[in-house]
Structure 1
């Protein structure tokens, strides 16, 4: 059993490691952070059985704000939000990693399904939206159904199915945040699918093709579009991340006027997933270490991770004193 003096010196040496180029500091702090997690959440059996950063991180998240009472201050919150905004709007926006970050920037309602109906003279036009996982990609399935004979005659079926990969759209992030942009994307996807069906019919004259396109726009989608604007709530599909934080702050000043009680916990756990993604980029890909955007992103991320590491060490020191 190490003496209290030996333990204290170990924790002081850990702290000294994280005080020294921000990418390097983030890496050093990540390993120091993991070392603190090992002592906070793992017993001797866990140490033998568990492998990898992810397992330890998940166990830490389970105990965070229950057994492990870290203190969250406004500097931590600002650093996390700055890292979020920097990554989403600048650093990752032009990088090949952006698709991998879709689920970090946006939560995703796996159970989302909604129908939008328009009934006229006993005939129904229906657009259904369903979120689903397809080949490990998050997709939105779109089905347009119409029970009019004219629809079937024009397009060869009672329903047309299409959709798009959500992660591929992450560069156009406004579609996940603005209802109008999302509705435009949905209707554009439907139009492209049906126009492809129309143009593939070699027997149709240009006049016949235009007649079908007019029917689609004027008699099918126009009323469905109105229903979408009336009934769709974008946050039922994509709650913004980090959770509700973005709605509660002034993005120019990062002031938080009315901080909800759950804000600290949700934001902190979001940041842990975000930091783990940054760790993966550093360990598995090549980035330009002198790039100003990357340095700025890692500065904010380092400062936030440093705060959590210091809090973990404080808790470990207090446990040592109680023993």
Structure 2
């Protein structure tokens, strides 16, 4: 039988990244305890981790130079982590790689000078109090005006709990093994969009049953209903749009007005490892500045995603959910260790500078 000692040694060296990760994790937590003593909590480290993310968003990002090596390690953690979770832990996929935007707030207004056919549409996202993953979309369609001398004035409210849709994520993943970033986000947005549209149609149906308007005004309101639905569909379409395909006007929009669901760090993150974020076309100076800023956002949000994911990675390891000798996990721990070590080094510099 051939000697396979060399393979065993190779396995040990790769598995050692698990122990390196563990030791670096404790070094990381130790720096946070020194940096944020006010976050002390006997129950765990979550408050320290939240304090560090807040610090990173405000000033810390200026001190951590995210070069190509760090980004490459984050991308490896992301890619291998996504593969493992899609295959073995689909119930965590949505929450590990996407974010339901609680700051989403959309308003559409169509008010002509003569105020003859006025339409206002609005909806926003809210989280149910006392729950972690229960989200409510609340909205309204306001229409008023005068048509053929007859006035109309309606304010229609709708409400949708999207928790059932979010909870169907594991089932969708199981039915579409190896689903792409594009297809997954498209499915999620489509399901929410259809449900929102259904609520609006049902709300209008109730109004039609009670309305005392003439046929001409009812026809006009039908048209306004279609315009309201079209405005909402355009938002979902923009939410799914690739950054490199956006027009100048779309670039200038506040993301909270159209991003209902966000992939973390940014939509189609892995796709853009091979395809440039910046489109291949002549651009104005303001467009070039927008894409330059997008790269900065990408780096910042990549670290924030990593900080959240590495915490869940730590939990999985400490609860013995994973196989440390599995090749994919070895890649994840190796690259997670490399990034975390950089963060620890920066934190130590920060601590010593204050002393």
Q: Per the shorter chain, which TM-score range?
A: 0.5 to 0.7
Q: Of 77, 94, 108, which aligns to 2:101?
A: 108
Q: Which residue of 1 aligns with 2:158?
A: 161
CA distance in 1, matches of 2:348, 2:235: 54
CA distance 1:148–1:181, shift in 2 (3 Å): farther
Q: Which residue of 1 aligns with 2:338?
A: 307
Superposed counterparts of 1:13-92, under 5 Å: 20=14, 25-26=17-18, 28-43=19-34, 46=37, 49-51=40-42, 52-61=44-53, 66=60, 69-87=63-81, 91-92=85-86
**1:142 partner SS:** strand
User: Per-residue deviation at 1:68?
Assistant: 9.5
**2:66 partner SS:** coil
Deviations 1:25-52 (A, max 9, x none): 54x3453223212443434993994442
CA distance in 1, matches of 2:62, 2:301: 15
**2:342 partner SS:** helix
Q: Which residue of 1 aligns with 2:197?
A: 190
**2:90 partner SS:** coil
Contact 1:162–1:190 (Cα < 8 Å) also in 2: no
Q: Which residue of 1 aligns with 2:274?
A: 253
User: Per-residue deviation at 1:80?
Assistant: 2.0
Deviations 1:207-254 (A, max 9, x none): xxxx9xx9799534322244346677534343744344856x753637
Q: Which residue of 1 aligns with 2:281?
A: none
CA distance in 2, matches of 1:167, 1:278: 26
Contact 1:117–1:126 (Cα < 8 Å) also in 2: yes
CA distance in 1, matches of 2:109, 2:189: 15
- Tell me the matched-pair count: 279
Contact 2:85–2:93 (Cα < 8 Å) also in 1: no
CA distance in 2, matches of 1:241, 1:55: 24
1:132 matches 2:126: yes
**2:295 partner SS:** coil
CA distance 1:316–1:194, shift in 2 (3 Å): closer
TM-score when scaled to structure 1? 0.59
Q: For structure 1, which runs of at least 5 residues remain unmatched after alignment?
A: 1-17, 150-156, 204-210
CA distance in 1, matches of 2:225, 2:315: 44
